Amino acid sequence: MANGPPLVPAGDALPLVDGFGRIISYLRVSVTDRCNWRCLYCMSEAVTFVPRSEVLSLEEIERVCSAFVALGVRTLRLTGGEPLLRRGILTLMRALSRHLESGRLDELTLTTNGSQLADAAAALAACGVRRVNVSLDTLDPERFRRITRWGRLDRVLDGLAAAQAAGLAIKLNCVALKDVNEDEFDRLIAWCGERGFDLTLIEVMPLGDIDGADGFSRARQFLPLAQVRERLARRWTLEPVGPRTGGPAHTVRVRETGGRLGFITPLSDNFCQSCNRVRLTATGALTLCLGRAEAVELRPVLRGCSDDDRPLLTALRNAIARKPEAHAFGAALCPARSVAGRLMNLTGG
């Protein structure tokens, strides 16, 4: 792993700004497309993973992340697939933590399915991680197994307990699925409130052509969160928590529990005007918009100039200039054919 930030030529340390005036300060990185679960809305049970030779090495991932930090990115989030399955992931986290120590990075965090969290929580905290996002769509063990196909709820609960013991703040991400888990939202709000967890509800996104597997249909399972919020407001007092940041969630505070509740609505309510993020896939494609198929391939740049970061920095600035104004999710709510053909496990959850 590198011992310092990449070279930034004089005059090139200005913030990354796209063609619509949005400052890009957040990078999400898929460190692997592999996952030990097969969630219905994410991938098919018989998914084919990309060859390992096409996946970026940890050193290449660190190099891209450090280049983004040098250009003003303040938040790094590692994702997958399941990021804690990637061999050497903690070595990468420790290497990236130097940017926290230098003050150039505000936050280093990750999103996980929680299955490996019990073993990794203390080490993550030692790397400077202060909070994690954990995917959890249900508190019912049998329903959990059906949604994830291969997952075990008890392992996630153990991971949450370990993360809390390590001092990590926890936010749960729950994909809202009509006729699947919509009867659990009240229970999840109360459960999270009791434990001090935040909760975010997310509309199912049309990424990857996976409809039909196990009877799953995005069109049938799509649940507009405006309806959910209206329903929840009959039981809970939902209070605004201040101006919206560059993140995708509309966030409220639940007065009765004191917890925060977010709503991510890529299909029913466009949030693109404040977008501050881009994504790096496990294979090195810089995805400028989650809801667009276009991407900029960075792997050839990385492997073609191993001892000079200037071509990489130039490639990043040129890519950000091409970031589209808005996604294409809302053209037809959850069509049978996905907007972007890549699966979420490759893109990064």
The CATH number of whichever domain residue 279 belongs to comes to 3.20.20.70
Q: How many domains does the chain have?
A: 1
Query: Does 15 map to a domain?
Result: no
Calculate mean pLDDT across residues 215-231: 84
Q: Contact at 8 Å (CB) between 62 and 111?
A: no
Sheet holding 295-297, edge to edge: 238-240, 249-254, 260-264, 198-203, 169-176, 131-135, 107-112, 75-79, 26-30, 277-280, 285-287, 295-297
Q: What is the pLDDT of residue 332?
A: 44
Is 118 inside any structural domain? Answer: yes
CA distances from 269 to 171, 224, 249, 289, 292 (A): 22, 9, 10, 16, 16
What digits encode the pLDDT tens for the residues 85-138? Answer: 999 999 999 999 999 999 999 999 999 999 999 999 999 999 999 999 999 999
Which pLDDT band holds residue 341 (cuts at 50, 70, 90)?
low
pLDDT the model gives residue 305: 83
Residue 8 has pLDDT above 60, yes or no: no
Q: Which residue has the higher pLDDT, 113 or 45?
A: 113
Q: Could you tell me if residue 19 is inside a domain? A: no
Rg (CA), the chain: 19
Whether 212 is in a domain gets the answer: yes
Which of 3-7, 24-28, 228-232 is predicted least confidently? 3-7
Report yes or no on 218 lying in a domain.
Answer: yes
pLDDT at 4 over 70: no
Q: Is the pLDDT of residue 203 over 80?
A: yes
Residue 29, pLDDT > 90, answer: yes
> For 252-271, what is the mean pLDDT?
85
| Domain-located, residue 16 | no
Within-domain flag for 202: yes
Identify whether 14 is part of a domain.
Answer: no
**Range with the lowest mean pLDDT among 43-52, 142-151, 255-264, 315-324?**
43-52
Query: Range of 154's domain?
Result: 26-347
